[in-house]
Chains A and B, each alone.
Chain A
Amino acid sequence: EAGVVQSPRYKIIEKKQPVAFWCNPISGHNTLYWYLQNLGQGPELLIRYENEEAVDDSQLPKDRFSAERLKGVDSTLKIQPAELGDSAVYLCASSLRSGPNTEAFFGQGTRLTVV
């Protein structure tokens, strides 16, 4: 079974430029998460989707960050414009929506460097 797939793995951009990350969750997983992981820190939740609905985006900086999950499958996270402080690893995870198997499965992440 394929895991959570993220692309690109690495991205280097200049500040003030836009950037987008893509995530394909595990097939059948209704819940999708985007996490931010700063260097030396644990992941922090940015946004959670239940199918195509964003049900928890309280930690998403909405002035520059946006996300979408069309058709309740793949998701994209966008930053426009990027700032130096956005340099971090952006992790996508997915889980089954209900039942005992609510373990979150993580992708390899996208490492963003803003210069």
Chain B
Amino acid sequence: GNSVTQMEGPVTLSEEAFLTINCTYTATGYPSLFWYVQYPGEGLQLLLKATKADDKGSNKGFEATYRKETTSFHLEKGSVQVSDSAVYFCALSLPFSSGSARQLTFGSGTQLTVLP
């Protein structure tokens, strides 16, 4: 079956530190890959995505590259800010067997806390 494995948290960093959150996946077929972020008290928001191998998704200083050979989609940011404190979810999607909507399979999430 399809699954996503994320680096376990919580992760605590000082402001301006480098961030890496590891994500690997198992999937049949060719998934699209996503990072969602959940700020305190808010719903999940799409942070970035990549739809095919070697694509790089980027947004708000975050980046992740779709690595088919290692089945990975690690999230990175060069200099984190206090406002980046949130829970980060890696996810994949594959087409449903019926219809064109795509089913999301999520990892368990990684809590990031950035200290000033």
Contacts and interface: CB of A to CB of B under 8 A. Distances in A.
B99 A108 contact: no
B66 interface: no
Q: How large is the interface on A (under 10, 10 to 19, 20 to 34, 35 or more residues)?
A: 20 to 34
B91 interface: yes
Given A91-B43, A106-B45, A56 B96 contact: yes
Nearest to B6: A42
Interface centre among A4, A48, A97, A104, by most chain B C-beta atoms within 10 angstroms, is A104
Interface in A25-60: 31, 40-45, 48, 50, 55-56
B108 A48 contact: no
Given A56-B96, A106-B45, 18 more contacts: A41-B109, A42-B91, A45-B103, A55-B99, A56-B98, A91-B43, A95-B101, A95-B102, A97-B99, A97-B100, A99-B100, A102-B93, A102-B100, A104-B46, A105-B46, A106-B43, A108-B43, A109-B43
A97 B44 contact: no
Contact of A48 (B36, B49, B93, B101): B101
Contacts of B96: 48, 55-56
B46 A103 contact: yes
Majority DSSP secondary structure for residues of B touching A: strand
Interface in B58-86: none
Nearest to A32: B101
A56 B44 CA distance: 22
A40 B108 contact: yes
